[in-house]
Amino acid sequence: MSVLTRDEAQTRAQLLDVHHYAVELDLTTGDDTFDSTTLIRFSARTPGDTFVELKPVTLRSATLDGTPLDPEALTENRLPLTGLTEGEHELRIDASMRYSRTGEGMHRFTDPTDGETYVYTQLFMEDVQRVFAAFDQPDLKAVFELTVTAPDGWTVLANSITEQQDDGRWKAAPTPLLSTYFVAVAAGPWHSVRTEHAGLPFGIHCRRSLAPYLDADADEIFDVTKACYDRYHEKFEEPYPFDSYDQAFVPEFNAGAMENPGLVTFRDEFVYRSAVTVTERQTRAMVIAHEMAHMWFGDLVTLRWWDDIWLNESFAEYMGFQTVNEACSDRFPDTWVDFGVTRKAWGYDADQRPSTHPVAPDPEAVPDTASALLNFDGISYAKGASALRQLVAWMGEKDFLAGINTHFKRHKFGNATLADFIDSLASATDRDVHGWAEQWLRTTGVDRLRPVVGDGDEKKYWHLTVDQDGDRPHRIAVGAYDRDGSRLVLREQFEIDVPQGDSVAVRAGRRPDLVVLNEGDLTYAKVRFDETSEEAALRGLSRIPDGLTRAVVWNTLRDMVRDGELEPAAYLETALAHLPEETELAVVQGVLGFARTQVADRYTAPEDRPAALATITEIARDLLRRTEDGDSPGLRLTAVRTFIDSATTPDKIASWLDEGTVHGGPELDPELRWRILARLAVLGATDEAAIEAELARDPSASGQEGAARCRAALPTAEAKAAAWSAMFETDDLSNYLFTATAQGFWQPEQSTLVQDYVPRFYADAPAMAARRSPAMAEAAGRYAFPAYAIDAHSLATGQEHLTDPDLTPALHRKLVDQLDDLARALRVREA
């Protein structure tokens, strides 16, 4: 397949104006393919040659201005259009297209619960070509009119309001100007809940088998959606630009969600069929707010080329957390705590790998769509959002929003660049936004801020010097705390600017017991403590009054472990001392997640791992004792999950499974039952018969994934061989079943059993990635990589294979990251 280069896109944009697409899809032609007919009206500014993209099973016919084109001229995914004259043209394409099982193009899914089938599109980046012919680049916007023939009993959703015609076909209203990658269709026997808000139809949709769970949460989903919609209309002067707002929860979705105008698609795990914590509900609310922000930033105003993808994602990430924090504070009191513990850590990790890149990379660094796809990472999302949060702190929210509204007004229904965005912001402030952008958006890496604290004469004053290892200016808050018995009490909080160099602040009184830089987490930087403050933080962390400050401290400790400055065992002991007293659920979940998946499984030497798991289990027990009164169901659920995942002997969790409940609650729902069975499989305490029995109890799609995960985790040579064959020797697994199988395969407890598969990964994964798709390449690199083979030989083997010229870009990028993480784990163990 040919990927589109930036130069090709610029050349085509100079040649063409695309006006209108009429797309007809027939979804009744069988289980493997569907028919796609496309009529494109466009004009050429000058005589010239170009091409249109499509990836058909069969190209039946193509005509340009009524003249047939040779279908054999289609090379890979490009059909040449030669000899264009200046003026108007009409291109008609008739093709058969293949359904996807990997979440790209037109994905088709049959629900094992009831046999109902659903299809939906995911056309991001370059996958529109899997559904219909298009001039596939973001700056050739056009009006789209879709007509869909669907089986009886199906409902068809699209970007605009759809109506069923007398002939049974569904027709969508013409859209405003859209980029090709935003076109969306979702068809099937959906269960739908509808309402109206601000004069617009709102709808939420899911598979019929999930109907009871969607109905149970419909009020919350609509409340969040309406609150965010209203808040955005308070912030933005441009009104919502589309004719309806549908949210479809679709199966086997690769991303968290996709911001298709008027029809946002979400992974249907957000329709909760098992118990979840309030933090997980908050995450769903944030994703709703994130995708709605895209209706303005991304959909109304769209990037010109993929080097500016951060303009979409960083803005939506920032707005998602900020808007939920403002509009849904009654349900979710402080979303920024969760951002600080989870999303921000994602950004810090990504920014310290060899694959790091600027938030806004140089256009030459994104020469084609394949390279652009690699930038959807913690930098484009979390670091970019952190940079915007710092920008708001630096220039003020009033001026920031004024600049944003100028940007919408200047570029609505068009395309814009970083330079356009910065110019709009600069128009609203006297601050040097262009200079700020160069320092924050065009650079890589994480600055480090370290306090130097001292007393003045007779301890009548104290002074703070902030040493910076980095080049960015920071505006930060500093918290000064004193011990009061067992508590830490905030004496004062003050803001300082840390320029490109050291910053000095002089304060009255004796020096505090604890000085916290980046109080309130307003900037993006690694922070450290002075010696006195580190001792106070380790001893009194749970007694720091503000949850966001505790998140900053926990992030600092996390980072110190990763940098070899704090022993993994010391981190676990700190967690044991303070998590039982922690009141922020997001902090508990974040700390336990890092402790379990990184400290115990990667940073701790194999001989010390049982002790690490024992400490984590002890934390879980303490939390279970604390929650016996039932007042903290989310905290108790977190403790139960952690206890299961950390069990080193099967007796306790096996008894829970047999009895169907945890003593004192909760009752075991499907998620907890599969979680226990997966851990029992790792420990060799279950078998195929038990997995099959559980699958009979829960034959849903989630049950199928749970069974695949359990089977791959069984500690037998036969189970591992079967799992490996399913992943790499056939292409039968869907994206979700591949991921579940890979998640079960590698286990630290089974390192000897699977050691021969480590070199096989480097032969089999690249071949599979080349056969299937970028999404499957990413899944192989993320989930099927031998992450627990932490030794010098495994590292050397992987580094040797990085030079393989046949590695697909998506897999190469994941391997670079995984091997860097492996090298870090080795350094931590040696330290």
Cβ count near 418 (within 10 Å): 20
Residue 282's φ and ψ, nearest 5 degrees, are -65, -40
Cis amide linkage into residue 666, ω under 30° from 0:
yes
Sign of the CA dihedral 787, 790, 791, 792?
Answer: positive
Which tokens belong to 206?
């899911």
C-alpha separations of 531 from 437, 487, 554 in Å: 34, 19, 16
- The Cα–Cα gap between 646 and 678 comes to 12
Residue 262 near residue 245, CB atoms below 8 Å: yes
Residue 431: what residue type? Answer: R
How far separated are the first and last CA of the chain, in Å rounded? 46
Task: Say if residue 302 is exposed, middle or buried (CB neighbours under 10 Å; 0-12, 13-18, 19+).
Answer: buried
Q: What is the DSSP string of 624-693?
A: HHHTTTSS-HHHHHHHHHHHHHH-SSSHHHHHHHHHTB-TTSPBP-HHHHHHHHHHHHHTT---HHHHHH
- Among candidate residues 291, 582, 584, 694, the one labeled active-site is 291
Per the annotation, the verdict on 86 as an active-site residue is no
Strands 87-98 and 16-26: unpaired
- The Cα–Cα gap between 326 and 573 comes to 36
Phi-psi region of 307 (alpha: psi -120 to 50; beta: other; left: phi over 0): alpha
Cβ count near 820 (within 10 Å): 17
SS3 (DSSP) at 81:
strand
Residue 391 near residue 436, CB atoms below 8 Å: yes
Residues in the chain: 831
- The Cα–Cα gap between 321 and 338 comes to 9
Strands 143-149 and 257-258: unpaired
The alpha carbon torsion through 331, 333, 334, 337 (nearest 10 deg) reads: -90
- The Cα–Cα gap between 742 and 787 comes to 11
Report the Cα 726 to chain-centroid distance in Å. Answer: 26
Kindly give, in sequence order, each residue whose CB lies less than 8 Å from that of residue 453, ignoring residues fewer than 6 positions away: 462, 463, 464, 465, 511, 512, 515, 530, 532, 533
C-alpha separations of 669 from 272, 453, 687, 708 in Å: 11, 52, 21, 18
Residue 297 near residue 415, CB atoms below 8 Å: no
The residues pairing with 483 across neighbouring beta strands, listed in sequence order, are 488
SS3 (DSSP) at 802:
coil
Cβ count near 471 (within 10 Å): 12
Residue 781 near residue 815, CB atoms below 8 Å: yes
Strands 16-26 and 191-197: unpaired
Active site residues: 291
